[in-house]
Structure 1
Amino acid sequence: MTWLEGLALVAIGGVAGFINVLAAGGSMLTLPLLMFLGLPPQAANGTNRVSIVLQSVSAVGNFFRAGARDLGISLRLSVPAVLGSLAGAWLALQVPDAVFQTVLVVAMVAASVMMLLPQPRLDTRALTPERLTPAVYLAMFAIGVYGGFIQVGVGVLFIAVLYRMLRIDLAQVNVFKVFVVLVYTLPALAVFLLDGQVRWAYGLLLAVGSMSGAWLAVRVNMGPRGAKWVKALTLVVIVAIILRLVFF
């Protein structure tokens, strides 16, 4: 790894950490970056989890200090997601590299389209335990499977379930999202680690940037209007990455 590559990991990690907390799509930047730097797709997929775990630790700690402490509900949402992530991570290790790269492109395109869809204005309210129905737990399991497999754009799925389905405000969606992602990524990372698919030097440099970005994002945790410019910037970069994956 050159010093320029290390600098790129820190810089893109910072942007991704900021985006992941406030909106979605950070892994659409970091996972292709790791592949562009020469890591095989499975190693890039596993290494990316190091950054996700550490940026999530940073975000959860800062949210907690800011007064967001819905620990009980967060743990309830996390249990099915953990079970799903184990299955998803195992499945990711079974597919050939060419298939994984195709899935990555499809996932990035689909997530980008979903990010472009306007969010409806909903009457939101606080999330209470009695509102966690079997359908919600099944949806969280599905998110866990997807996150364990590839992680790319998983924040879009959280918005679909927590904002559209449960009708909690987007600031609270961000709080629950980072906690659940932290909890389900730990076992997924362990699966990749046991298979030898984690490159620590790359992952830790990426994490230095992503933790800084997550720290900053918590301090500017915004609603839908404030996050629009974040989404727009993310989509521009994602389009460039998709073109690079497909044509070069």
Structure 2
Amino acid sequence: MSPTDIIALLVLGGLAGFINVLSAGGSMLTLPLLMFLGLPPQVANGTNRVAITLQSITAVGGFFRGGHGNLAISLRLAVPAIVGSMVGAWMATGVSDAVFEWVLVAAMVGASLFMVLPQPKLDTRPLTPERLGTAIYTGMFLIGLYGGFIQVGVGALFIVVLYRVLKIDLRQVNVLKVAIVLLYTLPALLIFALNDQVRWIMGLTLAAGNIAGAIVAVRVNMSARGAQWVKWLTLVMVAAILIRLIGY
């Protein structure tokens, strides 16, 4: 890697880590970046999971130290997501680069549309085990399946399911989101690694940036209104990346 590559990985990694914890869309920046730096799409997809894993460990640790973790519910929701992610990762290792590139473009467009949907004002309340049911477990499996395959925009899906369906506030969504993502990313990363689709040095360099961004984000975990500028910054950057990616 050149010095310019390292700087790009650290800077965009930091921004992505911040975005992933507080909102959604960090992988819409880092996955294309890895491709632009010369990794084949499938290898970029696997390498991105190194940063996601370490960023999630950082965020989960920060939330739990701050007394905001919910281990019992996180584990319950993570089980179907883990099963889905293993299936999704296995599927991703077998698709062609050309197919994956178009899936990536479609995923980025879809995730961007999800992010611009107005958030309804709901009467939110704490999430207790008795409120969990078949619908939410099915939703977690499908998010895990998607996240295991590509990861892009997973945070937007969590917001739709946890906020709109279970009616928990966005602070709770962020705490549960990072815990579930950590647990389902570990087996997905293993599957990519076993298929030689992880480049560890680039992944760890990107992860250093992600970790720094996640540390800052945990300290400023914010409300929906406070996160608006994060969302719009992400969308502006994604628009520029999509233009570049389509011509890639």
- Please classify the TM superposition score into its range, dividing by the shorter chain length: over 0.9
Aligned to 1:110: 110
Residue-by-residue CA offset, 1:202-235 (whole Å, 9 max, x unaligned) = 0000000000000000100001110000001000
User: 1:169 corresponds to which letter in structure 2?
Assistant: D
* Aligned residue runs from structure 1 range 84-163, under 5 A: 84-163=84-163
Amino acid at match of 2:39: L
Q: How does 1:27-66 map to 2 (within 5 A)?
A: 27-66=27-66
Unaligned residue ranges in structure 1 (runs of 5+) = none
RMSD of Structure 2 on Structure 1 (CA): 0.5
Quote the Cα distance in structure 2 between the aligned partners of 1:53 and 1:240: 26
Quick one: which amino acid aligns to residue 158 of structure 1?
A: F
CA distance in 2, matches of 1:12, 1:113: 22
Cα distance in 1 between the residues matched to 2:112 and 2:193: 29
CA displacement, residues 24-77 of structure 1 (integer Å, 9 cap, x when unaligned): 000000000000000000100000000000000000000001101210000000
* TM-score, structure 1 normalization: 0.99
Give, in angstroms, the shift of residue 94 of structure 1: 1.3
1:77 aligns to what? 77
Deviations 1:129-156 (A, max 9, x none): 0111011100000000000000000000
Residues 1:212 and 2:212 are matched in the alignment: yes
Matched residue, 1:11: 11
2:58 aligned with 1:67: no
Tell me which amino acid in the other structure corresponds to 2:242: I
Measured against aligned partners, the alpha-carbon deviations of 1:99-135 in whole angstroms (never above 9, x if no partner) come to: 0000000000010011011100000000000111011
Give the whole-Å Cα distance in 1 for the aligned partners of 2:236 and 2:16: 14
The equivalent residue for 1:200 is 200
Counterpart Cα distance in 2 of 1:223 and 1:94: 39
Following TM superposition, by how much is the alpha carbon of 1:172 offset from its aligned partner in structure 2, in angstroms?
0.6
Query: What residue number does 1:175 align with?
Result: 175
Identity %: 67
Number of corresponding residues? 248
- Counterparts of 1:132 and 1:122, CA distance in 2: 18
Deviation, structure 1 residue 247 = 2.4
Corresponding position of 1:246? 246
